[in-house]
Amino acid sequence: MKPRLLLVEDDAVSRSFLGAALETLPADVAIAASCAEALRQSSRFDLWLIDANLPDGDGAELLQQLQASAPDVPAIAHTADHSAELRTRLLHAGFAEVLIKPVTAAQLQASVRRWIKPSALAETRASYAIETAAPDWDDHAALVALNGKQEHVVMLRKLFMDELPAAKQAVLSSFQAADDERLRAALHKLRASCGFVGAAQLAKAVARLQQDPSSVAALERFTQAVDALRP
């Protein structure tokens, strides 16, 4: 019998990637986009995978609520925030592990295997090597992240491109308004999505703007990287 996993993730691109990667374990995956949706799930799960920041609450607080009725279920947190402070807080809250996005399918699956009973999982394919090149579209990296599933790459890139204009506008308007909090939130979300679809140059531009959010040069590089992805 396949393990049952609960994936809590509000970003559509990240949700599609993580869900597809988990299903190939194989596993039965229930999806929730918010704390409220997660708490409405009535099934018994073998593992929870929870985003650290959700639109209606905090991942650590959600974990405490879930543990009230199922204290023995392990949980993995996932976030694009690299700060040591957040990782420490999540571990203290009860998460068994913290994954930093973008994460490959192989890395995600290895993490799940560490916390699921061996009898609950079937044999899976060997992990793929990670490529370090960074063209506009890193096709190999995208295939690696999705265990060689070309159809998943096509699907996720279409979704990514559909949402990219709004993501770009969110970054530009936040920068122009000098709203650092909103800018960080927009970049945080976009950086994770870039990793899943192999948008390597844009991911680098996003990281540079995160490091220097007041830099006009970094903003220009970000804009150029977005425009380079357009047909």
Note the pLDDT of residue 120.
Answer: 55
Q: Strand, helix or coil at 167?
A: helix
Residue 129 pLDDT class (50, 70, 90 cuts): very low
The 10s digit of each residue's pLDDT in 7-23 is 999 999 999 999 999 99
Provide the token pair at 98.
């913290």
Give, as one character, the DSSP assignment of residue 33: S
Residues 6+ apart with CB under 8 A from 132: none
For tokens 């988990």, the residue is 22
Cβ of 215: how many Cβ atoms within 10 Å?
A: 14
For tokens 């530009």, the residue is 172
Provide the token pair at 182.
């909103």
Q: Strand, helix or coil at 8?
A: strand
Q: Residue 51: phi, psi to the nearest 5?
A: -65, 140
Which CATH class name applies to 139-228? mainly alpha
Global confidence as pTM: 0.66
**Homologous superfamily of 4-120 in CATH?**
Response regulator (3.40.50.2300)
Query: Which has the minimum average pLDDT: 86-90, 150-154, 160-164?
Result: 150-154
Report d(CA 221, CA 206) in Å as an integer.
9
Domain regions of the chain by residue span: 4-120, 139-228
Say yes or no to pLDDT of 136 above 60. Answer: yes
In terms of average pLDDT, the best of 3-17, 168-182, 187-201, 214-228 is 3-17
Report d(CA 171, CA 211) in Å as an integer.
14
139-228 matches 4-120 in CATH topology: no
Note the pLDDT of residue 128.
Answer: 27
* Helix, strand, coil abundance in the chain, percent, nearest 5: 55, 10, 35
